[in-house]
Amino acid sequence: MTQIAHARTFDGVDDFLEMSIGGLDAALTSMSIVSIIKPVDAAVFRDILVVEDPLGFAFGLGPTSQELYFYNGVALDDSSGNFADAANGWMIIALTKPSGSSVVRWHKYVYGTQTWTHEAGATSLAQPATPTSLTNIYIGGQTEFNGMIACLGYWPTVALSDGTLESMVSLLSAWEATSPGALWLLDQSSETIAVDDRIGSADQVNRTGTTATAISDLDFYIGGAPPTVTPKSKSAAVHKRRRM
């Protein structure tokens, strides 16, 4: 087995990776965004993925109480408070959204406690428009994410089920088996090595800052089979007023 050995650190000031459009201008129906992160804080909006078309959509950590947020190009919704608390350490965070006007579903797996939380949003959001004139795709937002990102996937045609997400804890191959539209592994030993899309051609075209950081505290494997892990699940039904 090969455990992931590096993650990309973003300084929360001016670090980002700009990616090419690749195949991400395909029809957008249901959608999912999944990432493995270790944040430092969420004092301001901390973008993880930004797609501009030119309004586009964005996903990341909100500034109010370390929640997750999703902006569909017109309106914004977020999870309950402390959903993405930096004190969690390494975690999988995700959103899934069925087609049409629908409620976002929020997901979190904390590696330290081996615990899943799945939470339904409280506000229906329209589906982002199908990209037709993509201008920019950013990992780490444009200037904001503060912390480390190890892996990031984008699914433009499926809302992954809770069970499918729970199967993606340990193996990169489990992510690949779900046919994402783009999959970026940030395991480069140097920031000068470009981040390529493992599925399509949404490859890195520009980099501002970032640091390739050696890690040994994330049980995520990019080859072979990891030790058996049985994640725990719990429901989170707390909702709060959403920002518009």
Segments making up each domain of the chain, as ranges: 2-224
CA distance linking residue 207 with residue 33, whole number of Å: 21
Q: What percent of the chain has pLDDT over 90?
A: 70
Band (pLDDT 50/70/90 cuts) for residue 50 is very high
Query: What is the dihedral sign for C-alpha 177, 169, 236, 128?
Result: negative
Q: How far apart are CA 97 and CA 23, in angstroms?
A: 20
- Tokens 């980099």 correspond to 207
Q: Is residue 180 scored above 80 in pLDDT?
A: yes
For 158-182, b/e burial (b = at least 16 CB within 10 A) is bbbeeebbbbbbbbbeebeebebbb
Give me the half-sphere count of Cα atoms (radius 13 Å) on the Cβ side of residue 37.
32
Q: Quick one: average pLDDT of 23-36?
A: 85
Name the residue among 160, 204, 186, 38 with its Cα closest to residue 111.
Answer: 38
Nearest to 86 by CA among 117, 108, 58, 71: 108
Read off the pTM: 0.90
Q: What is the pLDDT of residues 141-171, one digit of tens each?
A: 887 899 999 999 999 999 999 999 999 999 9
CATH of domain 2-224: 2.60.120.200
Residue 127 has a pLDDT of 87
In angstroms, the CA 76 to CA 172 distance is 30
Residue with tokens 């072979």: 224
d(CA 96, CA 19): 22
Q: What is the distance between the alpha carbons of residues 39 and 60, in angstroms, rounded to a whole number?
A: 11
Q: For residue 231, what pLDDT band results from cuts at 50, 70 and 90? A: low
Q: Cα separation of 229 and 210, whole Å?
A: 31
Work out the angle at residue 41's Cα, subtended by the Cα atoms of residues 36 and 44, and round it to the nearest 5 degrees.
Answer: 110
